[in-house]
Structure 1
C-alpha cells in the first residue's frame, strides 16, 4: 500500500503499525503528535508525543488506522518528510527522513536548516 500523506508528510507502513500499537491503550480519538522545536545538538529537534485529540489547525496524516497530528509551524519544517519506525542494532525509534534538513546529528533526532 502506498504511503499516506498530508501536506506532503509521509508515514511508512512500519511507522503506522507502531503508532497503532501505541495508541491501542489510549483513549479513543487519541493521536500521535510529531512536532519540531528549537534545541537539540543541531538547532532543531523532533518531538514525539501522544495527545487526546488533534488541535483544530493540525494537519493529520492517516495510514492503516494510525493518526499523526502535526501543528502548522512544525509542518513548515516537515514538508516532504517521511516518518518511519526502525528496529535495528541501535534500538527501536521513530526516524524522520527530512529533505529540508541540511545536516542532522548522529542520533537522528535533531537537524539544522
Structure 2
C-alpha cells in the first residue's frame, strides 16, 4: 500500500478536473524559453527516475526537480476561458519576475508583443497533428 504525497503547492479544482480529463497524469517541467527566460512545460508523460510524483484527488502530477524547486506555495490552475485554454502557475512567490500570461518567468517582463512570448501557445496535447 503506497501513501499519497500531496504537492507543496495548491491545485485548483479546475486543474484537477482537467487532469482527470487527460487521463490522470501530467508532467510539469521547466525549460529555457518564453519572453522572461524560462517557461513551464506541461506534457502527458509518466516521468523519469528523478521526478517527484504527487497525488491529488483523481490525478497525479509528475514534477521535475527543476519545477519542484520553484512550485512550493504557488497555485496550479487550468482555465478554459483564456485563449488558448491552458494550465498555468499563478501566484508563485518564488518567481517574482514573470510574464502576465504566467507561462514565462525569470527576468523582468520586457513588455507586450515579444517574439518569444508563449501566451498563444496551445497545450501540446491540443496542438494539431503535423
Shift of 1:73: 2.0
Are the equivalent residues in 2 in contact too, given 1:16–1:64 (CA < 8 A)?
yes
Higher strand proportion (structure 1 or 2): 1
Rg: which structure is higher?
A: 2
The structure 2 residue matched to 1:61, chosen from 54, 61, 77, is 54
Name stretches of at least 5 consecutive residues in structure 1 with no aligned partner. Answer: 25-30
TM-score where L is the length of structure 1: 0.77
Q: Which TM-score applies when normalising by structure 2?
A: 0.68
Residue aligning to 1:96: 89
RMSD: 2.0
1:44-72 residue CA offsets vs partner (Å, 9 max, x unmatched):
10101001x23233222222211110011
Please show how residues 10-29 of structure 1 align to structure 2 within 5 Å.
10-23=10-23
Secondary structure of the structure 2 residue equivalent to 1:17: helix
C-alpha distance 42-23 of structure 1, shift in aligned 2 (>3 A):
same
The equivalent of 1:27 in structure 2 is none
Pairs within 5 Å for 1:78-93 = 78-93=71-86
Q: 1:39 aligns with which of 29, 33, 36?
A: 33
Partner of 1:46: helix, strand, or coil?
A: strand
Size of the alignment, in residue pairs? 102
